[in-house]
Structure 1
Amino acid sequence: MRFSARALPHVTAAAILSTVALAVPATSQPAPGDVPGNLVGGASSTCFWNYGAFGADPNFNNAYPDAGATYWAAYIRRPAGSTLSLTGTYPNARYFSFISYDRVGQPIDGVADYQIAPDPGSSNPFQPGARRDGPDAASTYTLDVDHAQNFDSATKQPLFTVRDPRNNEPERNNLLTVPTAAAQGGTGISLGTEIGSDGVTYELEQYLYRVYVPDNNGTITGNVPMPEPVLTLANGDRLTGQSVCDATDSESKDLKKTTGNADAIRLPDPTALNLDRKTYDALRHPETLAPGQQVQVFPAPGQPGKPLFQIGRPVENPATFPAEYNPGAERTVDWRGQYDRRYLLQMYTGDDAPGASLTPPRTGGGFYPNIHNNYMRAALSREYGQVAVVRGKLATSPKTSNGNPVMETGQVRYTSFCMNESVLTTRVMNCAYDENVPTDSNGDYTIVVSLAGERPVNANEACGNGWVEWSPKGDGGDDSNFGWFQVRNMLPDNNFRQAVQNTSTPGDELAVMGEYLPNVEYMSTEEFEKLGCSANGSIGLGSSGFGSSN
């Protein structure tokens, strides 16, 4: 892989992962000295939540994080017959959740904040209309982490939805962690097993904890401690603190011992985080392949599923591929919803490639998706213009960032607009989120996307235009003009029919979302500056939404 040194914390991990065979077990080992410094032991991490913090720079920036959120992961081995629970305090934030994943980053189960019943004597501040300003001591919860499948053998369906849950899912205080294999009607890929130094075989689990938009620019944890694990062994022994971490080997200490590798840590399958350079180059540059040559780009070797191929062929404009721009069309760019990984990669292969699907399942695109979000994505290219001007209508959402005392309702819980690199790096550059996006009386907004050095002087609050930074690394490879613009909708209300989650078939995006599906216009910096202030009637946005350090 070829990356700039500036992305080193992310790149080191990507390089580690890309050097491992694609059929690796879950306990793949990096070479000594190659463990990235902030993949484990980063900001606010604990011995149990040992992976992270993940997010925009300077955190470990991978798998398309939202720049307004911070993520931590636990990747453990589970003692047979044990029970595990998490005790925590509801954070002062817009949202938090727990989501479990299989080996390739597909979701198994997830529980959102409002679903988690409080401990006796406490209250849940994420319930609509709840007070958000109560004492932390009266805002605690307990969540059981069950080593079981999210699968109903009678109906052959998940017990709890992982496909576009809304804001009215049932109350529950448990998270399920075992993938459902294809033989049972699922798509899950086992995390595998691991033999400890005690000779015992352990099954593995991994889950992520997310916190979005802490109140009042507070700590990334939402001004509360990280959730604490409590493990009860099969013999009845109750463990807390470091004893839990040792029993579950959450810090990979025993793994280091059994492998003889002082730098060993558990790693997910390489394709869970990004694509290897060879696969990405075939996707991005079909014109460099021999005419008619077929290169399998999905799934990775050793993984189940029908193959998807990139075909060697000429493309109309290699410099802008795969971005499209059709001025005068009702929507000038190709917006694509999130279905599965295959469909995500069809942006490059085309929907008529061998192995492509026109009716993809809504299983998530991989890269550890948040099941409570759904996404619209469009490939952009600076070859069409220095700045991309994004206009649309903003869904309503609760206001929380100023420590608002009551949990409001809205059409969605959260909306963000993010500029990312490609599937080669899966890195986020910059985001703006709902409370920082100005709207006019109709709820319309304007967001300008550009390099920092080409930012129009009127892309600022005083002129009523927002700004999101375009990564100077483009796709993270050799196309510095590429950008992947992404719109998130979280936990829509059932009565909001224009949410991303209500799209169901590729091509229905405009019919379903209407004015909530943005449109894009390219301009030069000078052309946008000539529009002056309040060029599209919008008012007020800070200099940016969330930013990375680059």
Structure 2
Amino acid sequence: MPNPPGTAFFAPKAPVFPYYTDRNAVLRDAQGISEALARYIDAWLAGRVPSEIPKEFLPPGVNLTDFPRFRLVRAAEITPERVWAPRWARPITRAGYVGFFPDPNVTYLVIPAMLLPFGHKVVVEGEFPRARFFDLQVTPAFRPEDYRYDGGIGVAEVPIVDADIDPLPGHGNPFRLGANRNIDKRGWRVEFPMVVGDAMALNPAFRPPHFRGQGNVRYGSGLMFQGAWGAPGSNGHGRGLWDTGQLWLRYYLPDRRADGSVDALAGVALPRVHNETPKGERYFIEVDLAPFTRRANRVVQIAESAPAEPSDKRMSSARYGWSKQTGIFRAVVAGIALNTGWAPKEYVRNLDKGVAGRGTDLDGPAVLEQSATSATYIDYLVRGMELGRGKVVVLTGRLPSFPTTLRRDARFGGGEMRYWSLTGYEVPGGLDFVKAFDKNAVIGVAVHCVFDEEMVLDAQRRYVICFSRPQDRPANATPAAGVTWVDWGPAAEVSWTLRWLTVGPEWRGANAPTPEKLGRKPDWAEQAWDPSAIGTNSHNGALGDYLPRIHYMDASEFAKLGANVTMDRVPLWRG
């Protein structure tokens, strides 16, 4: 596929899927890597080899820059602080920003290089957090078609959600409908056996529409196949075809402390983790997490960009509504393709299939909207937006009901969803494929965010959110006037991600933008794309006024709305 004339824009050729000619050979190689590692672990447990695992026993392709050392430790030596790589919930401030597409109201705990053989298992023990939501997600059982490229691109993880986790005997689960959120005894234990097979067949909970299932066991893998971009000479990293698995844990909206500050640990200690051999011997493979953690938590400064007006030819236009994100990789590629008006939809689909191993014409986890590193229970809506000088961006809509938790509410209530937030991420100038996937780049820098429980709602749960630079804030952009004001931040152009989190059926309303309701109509790159679903900037689509409508105007025009601003009084953006 040629580059556009007169540009330095780079678009890699879409690899062929699947990236093998002999599937059984891939399975044999996987078993060989696993068995060699298992023998080394047995020898170490017997005291015959050193604790540091030699490179020849690691998956050929593992990222030794981010994870330079893998070391076996005995059960008594395992400490949670050396198991988890954290990304703490932290409010957005102009003092410094963090990247890689975080929701700032979420604490992310990840074992980013989870390595262990088939037949072994990971055991996680902890306490139910004081938060709105939490889940654990493990990379799926090994199957050559289920790619995991470079730790973040590929098929979805297998989840276990808070309400489904059985507590320890004599303890309680505060995430069940009507449960006491402030119980003292709140312990849990979850097991993840490492296996080969079809992840959806092995895990009944790994299936739409709700991804729910009883029992505290989910099957995964600590060895993954990276696909075409792992191969030397490819457009990817070229380190090799193999990698470790991962285990994710997320705390959404931890309860606030009495002084209103964020308790990023959600009132509990870090969960304890150990591995077990088939004989029940406990150990852990400890990884040097320092390089990865430094990069993931790097605080960056963003210079104030010159104001910019929305473009009528981009996904930030007055006519354009929202699309659905079905994978971060696919969203970045589709965003570049859509905004350049050059790369066709078929290219986006083929690149996603060739690199991530995902597509509606495949089977198993590959057909799901959920993808690697995304939260299984979230529907992600995305669009772009710019802000000109002296202007405001306004969102209006209706918010589904949700359980309030921020102030340590006593009971876990019901609702039409669990959580809703809108985060704006800086869009750097001249973004292309090379910059977007450069390991040294910090992309997805969050510059503003607003979430459900801090929004001003009227009696019909309708909202008016006003974004502006501080110097352009209208005098009536206040809660007293019925308005939630948000500092736009330093970037002129942002990419918005709306996280709409549901846990069905208890916390899932009829207007949630789920695949069951919308199909693939909201995915611009799909043949089924239908802008009438959510792709038009109006309240007339499939979600009605639950879809945020975008308005754009002079700050002075908004100020003229006076001291009682309601959704129906905000002027439409005609473009």
TM-score relative to the length of structure 2 = 0.63
CA distance in 1, matches of 2:558, 2:249: 40
CA gap 1:267/1:25 in 2 versus in 1, 3 angstroms = farther
Which residue is equivalent to 1:26?
Answer: 62
Structural mapping, 1:131-146, within 5 Å: 131-135=180-184, 138-146=185-193
Q: In structure 2, which of residues 300, 308, 314 is the aligned counterpart of residue 322 of structure 1?
A: 314
> 1:488-508 CA distances to partner (integer Å, 9 max, x unpaired)?
211254462210213212332
Let me know the Cα RMSD of the aligned residues: 3.9
CA distance in 1, matches of 2:511, 2:382: 16
1:64 matched to 2:101? The reply is yes
> 1:236-259 CA distances to partner (integer Å, 9 max, x unpaired)?
4334xxxx3xxx12335xxxxxxx
Asked if structure 1 preserves the Cα contact closer than 8 Å seen for 2:322 and 2:381, the reply is: yes
Which residue is equivalent to 1:110?
Answer: 159
Does the residue aligned with 1:99 lie in a helix, a strand or coil? strand
TM-aligned CA deviation for residue 188 of structure 1:
11
CA distance in 2, matches of 1:46, 1:523: 49
> 1:325-356 CA distances to partner (integer Å, 9 max, x unpaired)?
23xxxxx4331112244355323323845514
Which residue is equivalent to 2:249?
Answer: 209
Asked if structure 2 preserves the Cα contact closer than 8 Å seen for 1:86 and 1:144, the reply is: yes
> 1:345-393 CA distances to partner (integer Å, 9 max, x unpaired)?
3233238455145996464576721111111112111249721100001
Which residue is equivalent to 2:306?
Answer: none
1:488 matched to 2:499? The reply is yes
CA gap 1:530/1:158 in 2 versus in 1, 3 angstroms = farther
> 1:163-220 CA distances to partner (integer Å, 9 max, x unpaired)?
7653x722231343338989xxx999999xxxxxxxxxx9722122111112233521
**Residue segments in structure 1 that go unaligned for 5+ positions in a row:** 1-23, 33-43, 192-201, 253-262, 274-316, 327-331, 475-480, 539-550
Q: In structure 2, which of residues 465, 474, 479 is the aligned counterpart of residue 456 of structure 1?
A: 474
TM-aligned CA deviation for residue 79 of structure 1:
3.9
TM-aligned CA deviation for residue 57 of structure 1:
5.1
1:498 matched to 2:511? The reply is yes
TM-aligned CA deviation for residue 462 of structure 1:
2.1
Which residue is equivalent to 1:294?
Answer: none
CA distance in 2, matches of 1:207, 1:112: 14
TM-aligned CA deviation for residue 519 of structure 1:
0.6
1:355 matched to 2:339? The reply is no
Q: In structure 1, which of residues 504, 511, 521 is the aligned counterpart of residue 551 of structure 2?
A: 521
Does the residue aligned with 1:435 lie in a helix, a strand or coil? helix
CA gap 1:346/1:325 in 2 versus in 1, 3 angstroms = same
Asked if structure 2 preserves the Cα contact closer than 8 Å seen for 1:452 and 1:469, the reply is: yes
Task: Give 1:450's aligned amino acid.
Answer: S
CA distance in 1, matches of 2:277, 2:229: 26
Q: In structure 1, which of residues 95, 103, 109 is the aligned counterpart of residue 133 of structure 2?
A: 95
Asked if structure 2 preserves the Cα contact closer than 8 Å seen for 1:108 and 1:179, the reply is: no
Asked if structure 1 preserves the Cα contact closer than 8 Å seen for 2:88 and 2:106, the reply is: no
Asked if structure 2 preserves the Cα contact closer than 8 Å seen for 1:412 and 1:491, the reply is: yes
Does the residue aligned with 1:410 lie in a helix, a strand or coil? coil
Does the residue aligned with 2:288 lie in a helix, a strand or coil? coil
TM-aligned CA deviation for residue 65 of structure 1:
1.4
CA distance in 1, matches of 2:310, 2:466: 25
Which residue is equivalent to 1:467?
Answer: 485
**Residue segments in structure 2 that go unaligned for 5+ positions in a row:** 1-59, 69-78, 140-147, 232-241, 299-308, 351-357, 361-366, 437-442, 523-529, 535-539, 569-575
CA distance in 2, matches of 1:99, 1:399: 25
Does the residue aligned with 1:515 lie in a helix, a strand or coil? helix
CA gap 1:109/1:164 in 2 versus in 1, 3 angstroms = same
Does the residue aligned with 1:97 lie in a helix, a strand or coil? strand
Identify the range of structure 1 (105-114 vs 513-522) with the bigger mean alpha-carbon deviation. Answer: 105-114
Which residue is equivalent to 2:354?
Answer: none
Asked if structure 2 preserves the Cα contact closer than 8 Å seen for 1:86 and 1:227, the reply is: yes
Which residue is equivalent to 2:395?
Answer: 390
Which residue is equivalent to 2:564?
Answer: 534
Asked if structure 2 preserves the Cα contact closer than 8 Å seen for 1:63 and 1:367, the reply is: no
Which residue is equivalent to 1:342?
Answer: 330
Aligned length: 411
CA gap 1:169/1:321 in 2 versus in 1, 3 angstroms = same
CA gap 1:451/1:108 in 2 versus in 1, 3 angstroms = same
1:439 matched to 2:476? The reply is no
Asked if structure 2 preserves the Cα contact closer than 8 Å seen for 1:421 and 1:427, the reply is: yes
Does the residue aligned with 1:75 lie in a helix, a strand or coil? strand
Which residue is equivalent to 2:54?
Answer: none
CA distance in 2, matches of 1:164, 1:500: 14
Asked if structure 2 preserves the Cα contact closer than 8 Å seen for 1:397 and 1:412, the reply is: yes
Task: Give 1:206's aligned amino acid.
Answer: Q
Which residue is equivalent to 1:429?
Answer: 447
Task: Give 2:347's aligned amino acid.
Answer: G
Does the residue aligned with 2:543 lie in a helix, a strand or coil? helix
Which residue is equivalent to 1:171?
Answer: 214
Does the residue aligned with 2:373 lie in a helix, a strand or coil? coil
Q: In structure 2, which of residues 257, 265, 273 is the aligned counterpart of residue 221 of structure 1?
A: 265
CA distance in 2, matches of 1:47, 1:114: 28
Asked if structure 2 preserves the Cα contact closer than 8 Å seen for 1:63 and 1:368, the reply is: no
CA gap 1:203/1:342 in 2 versus in 1, 3 angstroms = closer
CA gap 1:487/1:78 in 2 versus in 1, 3 angstroms = closer
Does the residue aligned with 1:177 lie in a helix, a strand or coil? coil
Structural mapping, 1:34-433, within 5 Å: 46-53=81-88, 61-80=98-117, 81-101=119-139, 102=148, 103-106=151-154, 107-135=156-184, 138-148=185-195, 151=198, 159-160=203-204, 166=210, 169-178=212-221, 204-217=244-257, 219-234=263-278, 236-239=280-283, 244=284, 248-251=285-288, 322-326=314-318, 332-340=319-327, 341-342=329-330, 345-350=333-338, 352-357=344-349, 361=360, 363-364=368-369, 368-383=373-388, 386-422=391-427, 424=436, 425-433=443-451
> 1:255-275 CA distances to partner (integer Å, 9 max, x unpaired)?
xxxxxxxx765999x9xx9xx
Asked if structure 1 preserves the Cα contact closer than 8 Å seen for 2:92 and 2:449, the reply is: no
> 1:37-93 CA distances to partner (integer Å, 9 max, x unpaired)?
xxxxxxx97111134337665898333211211112112353434332111010111
CA gap 1:321/1:70 in 2 versus in 1, 3 angstroms = farther
CA distance in 1, matches of 2:208, 2:486: 27
CA gap 1:53/1:439 in 2 versus in 1, 3 angstroms = closer
TM-score relative to the length of structure 1 = 0.65
TM-aligned CA deviation for residue 124 of structure 1:
0.7
CA distance in 2, matches of 1:230, 1:176: 16
Identify the range of structure 1 (386-395 vs 156-165) with the bigger mean alpha-carbon deviation. Answer: 156-165
TM-aligned CA deviation for residue 443 of structure 1:
1.5
